[in-house]
Amino acid sequence: MEAVFMLVPLAIVLLGVIVAVFWWAARSGQFDDLEGPAWRILMDEDRTPPRPADDHHEHTEAGEPPRG
């Protein structure tokens, strides 16, 4: 019986926290677009790959000392 006097207020406080978090999420737009992220992952973006940087260094074969 003594545990009930502690568990009931604890449950009420926990319920209040859950309601407050849900209210904050609903007011900040967390539930506005539920399907957008699912479709966004399927869409291809037409991005061109970056061009490699032009190296002005002289390339040598493996094991060959640099010329110069």
d(CA 42, CA 34): 15
Q: What is the pTM of this model?
A: 0.51
* Domain locations in the chain as residue ranges: 1-27
Tell me, what's the pLDDT at 38?
84
**Residue-by-residue pLDDT tens, the chain, 68 positions:** 899 999 999 999 999 999 999 999 999 999 888 888 888 888 877 777 777 766 555 555 666 666 65
Residue 44 CB partners (closer than 8 Å, separation 6+): none
pLDDT of residue 52: 73
At residue 20's C-alpha, the angle toward residues 14 and 24, to 5°, is 150
Residues 6+ apart with CB under 8 A from 66: 58, 60
Q: CA–CA separation, 20 vs 33, rounded Å?
A: 21
